[in-house]
Structure 1
Amino acid sequence: MRESKMLPVPDGLAGLRVDAGLSKLLGLSRTVTAQLAEAGEVRQDGVVVGKSARLLPGSWLDVLLPEPQRDLAAEPPREVEGMDILYSDDDVICVDKPVGVAAHPTLGWEGPTVTSGLAAAGFWISTSGPPERKGIVQRLDVGTSGVMIVAASERAYTQLKRAFRNREVTKTYHALVQGHPDPSTGTIDAPIGRHHSAGWRFAVREDGKHAVTHYETLEAHRQASLLRVRLETGRTHQIRVHFEAFHHPLCGDPMYGSDPELNALLGLNRQWLHAVSLGFTHPSGQWMTVESPYPEDLDRALTRLREANGG
């Protein structure tokens, strides 16, 4: 149950925007208070007010508080269907992450996670890192499948975090994109930041963070091309954003401009993007490469594309 709270507007906050004043009054982030106001859950003297309205001296606020935050660190073990172990030892665990699974628990995500699945399978994970992200040294988007590494030991956590930070890990993906990139092999070097009108999306922006994607065409069909993609950097949604900006969005990715008719033809319900291999230096000093095969839905879509093109 969500709690309602009534409180007077202090003299010192009169004149502030509703979102800014509520943030100070309630100790919540400004983003959260703005969302409450936009949802009609803030009243001033009985009248619903928006986030940019001003707090009036002597007035009373009636606020419907957000749901209490759950303890992310207390995530219970949960078996994750389709999550296979590609390699494991006392230092590292390499999993084959299915689509629809998050790397670790986050607020707003109630679905399965890699960490809960490993706990259910009896694996020990490093205790290093934030409580809700113990052992996590990299992440894959919920909508992206493929190989992902988790640190099992403390030394592995330290060494792998450093390796990812210093770009000493080889991350290779396969992506099915619309059309035919020109040139067929190349590099996209374009900064990425949050989309100006949708905070849950990202876009190429001059004020964004440095992002570099290398690609090579493996198969070219009439409607789409299969690419091998290597990330030099690791920005959120990097591959999806770069290829949308390059006018070749990933098949099955309506968030970033895919063609719904082609998605239907291929039977895709998510972006065609798979982490096929991960190369890293094991804490023992040995270089390792772990590979993940295509999952059934992506393999089926690629087969349909080949058959439609006489392959």
Structure 2
Amino acid sequence: MASAFPIGVAGRAWGERERAQWRATQKNRRSYQADVVSRIEALSDRFERIAYGEITYADEAYTLYALRSRVVRPALPNVLVTGGVHGYETSGVFGALAFLDEVAGEFSDRVNLLAAPCVSPWAYERINRWNYDAIDPNRNFRSDGPREATALIELVRSFAGDYLLHIDLHETTDSDETEFRPALSARDGNAFEPGEIPDGFYVVADTADRQLEFQKAIVAAVEQVTHIAPADAKGEIIGSTVIAHGVIEYPLAELSLCPSITNARFKTTTEVYPDSPRATPEICIRAQVTSVRAALDFALEA
């Protein structure tokens, strides 16, 4: 049987040869420095800019940057905002930056804020899900994970031991179905099973501690900005049971997902759908900003 993906042999997991072939197809399509680092620098008059790691792939080096509250007050709760764990999910990056620019000041006397807007810069430039080694950082937030993951873990632990909130900003795109899931199946030597891309926004709760009212509050706020993904015929979104309007759940720690890296009471992953005919890039960014604001409002009042 021929492989459904142009790299590798069906039924056989990739080795270094196939990874190199895949890597050769990944071309720079945008600039981390121009698009992201320049905006982080522009915000450094309001936040402390932190270079929290360096990633070198072949002859390319990327400095990882975060922004945090200039004054950290021990009496205030700690909040973490992350974006760009998957580099191709554009509104996660720009939603985090827009929140910092437009909204974060409203909470400066209420929380200690740490934000990492673009966790995976190599993937950002190539509009890809994986890093240079064909690894998905968002299944590898553990001590032996890729540098994108371990550097963030180290940063988060150095900032605080306890967190009130962690919100991780993502997208679900048509390319998940046309490119990234077929690539994953090929990489791991599995048969590709077609799925369905949900049309709209949704959030992912933690199976171990759903905090369902928190998740609902985010969905209700975002529904004023963009449409919410309906359940499919099986009552699911991307293969997971819908537990409330626009809410599914994953075992975050078991899957080594980014929101598992803190002990936050309130944690969630947002997912916008930029390929919808009812959405625009700006709507997706607004949805992310609205998500962070709603998450903060709920967490601080709980």
Q: Shorter-chain-normalised TM-score: which range?
A: under 0.3
- Scaled by the length of structure 2, what TM-score is found? 0.25
Structure number with higher strand proportion: 1
Q: Which is higher, the Rg of structure 1 or of structure 2?
A: 1
- Scaled by the length of structure 1, what TM-score is found? 0.25
Higher relative contact order (CA 8 A, sep 6+): 2
Structure number with higher helix proportion: 2
